[in-house]
Chain A
Amino acid sequence: MSSQRYALFPGCLMPTEQYAYELSLRASLPLLGIDLVDLPGLSCCGEPMKSVNQTLTLYLSARNLALAEQQGLPFYVPCPQCHLSLHETNLILQKNPAMLERINEMLKAEGLHYTGTTRLVHTIDLLYDTIGLDIIKKHVTNPLTGMKLVVHYGCHAIRPKELGRPDDSENPQKVEAILKTLGAEPITHYPQKLDCCGAPLLPNKPETALAKTGQKLQAIQELGASGVVDVCPWCHKMLDSRQTKAGETVAAKLDLPIVYLTQLLGVALGVDKEKLGFTLNLSPVHKLGLRSQP
């Protein structure tokens, strides 16, 4: 298998606290022929600043895109929020030459220049479209048999369709298909599937953000799923790290295992559990009964 090189765009949340995502993707993707390159000089994608100043968002996204362009590498962007921000910036700069010129004027200070060619992938399309289920299947050595999982896609991975997202906006099924390939039995539909985790309210209304998390998790718990799979560090922060607190807002005792797709991928590919950051999941992931390959 020939390897494909991607520059990793870590974003803010994953490299500063959501280490399980970073550990698991670094441990598992190379097994599927993905060669991750660490670029120096990256920064926040700017998405959280869109409320404050959208030009700042465009600038921050563009400077990161420019750094990848310099190396001639596509970006692998594990955070859907960063992915949306970089992607939307690409689209705006492509169809708006005046804006591209303005941004490039700003980039000069750091000696950067962007022409608009950096290609992006997120975990979902990297696995489903770029690598493909056939290749993944060939590498599964430790199938996740019997696991009834639901997928929480998060908002930014699927909406808005108009801009082109890693999966369908109304009926996303790629992660479920990946999980099936890993041997699990995903629950393909549930009423709250497309709902928000609450994270974007964290800076301003942290209490309400948690209430949103609590409501969604409570509904999932009632479904009788063995666990929730996610693909976004923000969602994971809410669903996993803050699960107990979120439960308090809805007066429910929540104990749902929450795992990153890349963590399960690692297990199924036979990576040692130790290397996949499971000790960092605060939700009861032990309930999943995951075993490293004997």
Chain B
Amino acid sequence: MTITDLTSMGEPQADARAEINDRLKRLQDHASDYCYQCAKCTSGCEAHKLLELEPHKIVALLKRGLITELVNSDVIWTCMTCMKCRERCPQQVAPIEILFAAKNLAVQSGKELPGKYTAMLQSILGTGLLQEVQTVTTAANATMTRDQLGLPPLSVPSDVAKFQASIMAIAMQKP
């Protein structure tokens, strides 16, 4: 006996659902099962107004166990991390944390990283930081660097090779 979503022929994936829930419980101490679909999260969602993210639906998909649909959807990458959903949920569910878990799963399952994420990851690997030191323009259109402004040198990982090795090791592990 099972339940089938007739629009996608998807079926609830109990194990994947349990895995995400377990992680949320462990890290954020949140349980999505208590969501009663009041949609307060979506009413205030900063991303919803511009893109199509519906946090209450994210929670519903997780509760239903339709993890493949959740993980494959592009919309999970549109969260602005404003955290209003988590802040105001009357059931103390944290849709934003479900989104993080879903994105992690997507990456883990080999989905290509959208936008600049790959570049950011590479930069961290290479320099320890999200980006290299930038030359900036002043209001008067002059260019300035960190050194010219008299700021001390950047602080970066001392042994880059070891730093990189650790990150690579983590990338191989389950989150």
Direct contact of A and B (CB under 8 A): yes
Chain A residues at the B interface, C-beta cutoff of 8 Å = 10, 12-13, 15-17, 19, 22-23, 26, 38-44, 48-56, 59-60, 92, 95-96, 99, 106-107, 109-110, 155-156, 159-162, 169-170, 194-196, 198, 200-206, 208, 211-212, 277, 279-282, 285
Taking a contact as CB atoms under 8 Å apart, the answer to whether B87 and A159 are in contact is yes
Question: B133: CB under 8 A from chain A?
Answer: yes
A and B contact pairs by CB, cutoff 8 A, 24 listed: A10-B154, A12-B130, A15-B154, A16-B129, A17-B136, A19-B136, A38-B152, A38-B155, A41-B158, A44-B130, A51-B103, A54-B104, A56-B171, A106-B166, A156-B81, A162-B87, A196-B80, A196-B82, A198-B80, A201-B80, A203-B120, A205-B78, A206-B115, A280-B138
Could you tell me the distance between the alpha carbons of A227 and B78 in the complex, rounded to whole angstroms? Answer: 29
Assess A43 versus B129: contact at CB under 8 Å? Given A49-B124, A160-B83: yes
Contact stretch, chosen from B35-43, B62-70, B143-151: B143-151
Task: Identify which of A41, A106, A203 contacts B169 (C-beta below 8 A).
Answer: A106
Enumerate chain B residues within 8 angstroms of A49, measured Cβ to Cβ: 120-121, 124
Assess A43 versus B77: contact at CB under 8 Å? Given A15-B133, A19-B136: no
Contacts A41-B156, A109-B165 known; list 17 others, CB within 8 Å: A10-B154, A15-B129, A15-B155, A48-B130, A49-B121, A51-B77, A55-B173, A59-B167, A99-B26, A156-B81, A159-B82, A160-B87, A194-B84, A200-B79, A203-B116, A204-B78, A205-B115
Taking a contact as CB atoms under 8 Å apart, the answer to whether B131 and A53 are in contact is no
Taking a contact as CB atoms under 8 Å apart, the answer to whether B121 and A52 are in contact is yes
Taking a contact as CB atoms under 8 Å apart, the answer to whether A42 and B130 are in contact is no
Closest to B171 in A: A53
Which residues 17-66 of B have a CB within 8 angstroms of A?
A: 26-27, 29, 46-47, 50-51
Q: Name the distance in Å between A246's Cβ and chain B's nearest Cβ.
A: 13
Enumerate chain B residues within 8 angstroms of A17, measured Cβ to Cβ: 131, 133-134, 136
Taking a contact as CB atoms under 8 Å apart, the answer to whether A110 and B113 are in contact is no
Enumerate chain B residues within 8 angstroms of A42, measured Cβ to Cβ: 128, 155-157
Chain B residues at the A interface, C-beta cutoff of 8 Å = 26-27, 29, 46-47, 50-51, 77-84, 86-87, 92, 94, 100-101, 103-104, 107-108, 113-117, 120-121, 124, 128-134, 136-140, 142, 144, 146, 149, 151-152, 154-159, 162-163, 165-167, 169-171, 173, 175
Taking a contact as CB atoms under 8 Å apart, the answer to whether B170 and A44 are in contact is no
Task: Identify which of B51, B131, B163 contacts A16 (C-beta below 8 A).
Answer: B131
Enumerate chain A residues within 8 angstroms of B151, measured Cβ to Cβ: 15, 19, 22-23, 26
Could you tell me the distance between the alpha carbons of A109 and B166 in the complex, rounded to whole angstroms? Answer: 7
Enumerate chain A residues within 8 angstroms of B101, measured Cβ to Cβ: 54
Q: Name the distance in Å between B130's Cβ and chain A's nearest Cβ.
A: 4
Task: Identify which of A109, A202, A205, A212 contacts B46 (C-beta below 8 A).
Answer: A212
Taking a contact as CB atoms under 8 Å apart, the answer to whether B146 and A15 are in contact is yes
Closest to A216 in B: B46
Could you tell me the distance between the alpha carbons of A211 and B51 in the complex, rounded to whole angstroms? Answer: 11
Taking a contact as CB atoms under 8 Å apart, the answer to whether B130 and A155 are in contact is no
Q: Name the distance in Å between B168's Cβ and chain A's nearest Cβ.
A: 10
Taking a contact as CB atoms under 8 Å apart, the answer to whether A208 and B132 are in contact is no
Task: Identify which of B117, B130, B158, B171 contacts A51 (C-beta below 8 A).
Answer: B117
Enumerate chain B residues within 8 angstroms of A39, measured Cβ to Cβ: 155
Task: Identify which of A12, A38, A106 contacts B170 (C-beta below 8 A).
Answer: A106
Q: Name the distance in Å between B36's Cβ and chain A's nearest Cβ.
A: 19
Enumerate chain B residues within 8 angstroms of A196, measured Cβ to Cβ: 46, 80-82
Could you tell me the distance between the alpha carbons of A263 and B149 in the complex, rounded to whole angstroms? Answer: 15
Q: Name the distance in Å between A151's Cβ and chain B's nearest Cβ.
A: 17
Assess A53 versus B107: contact at CB under 8 Å? Given A42-B156, A159-B87: yes
Enumerate chain A residues within 8 angstroms of B162, measured Cβ to Cβ: 109-110
Taking a contact as CB atoms under 8 Å apart, the answer to whether A155 and B83 are in contact is yes
Could you tell me the distance between the alpha carbons of A23 and B152 in the complex, rounded to whole angstroms? Answer: 10
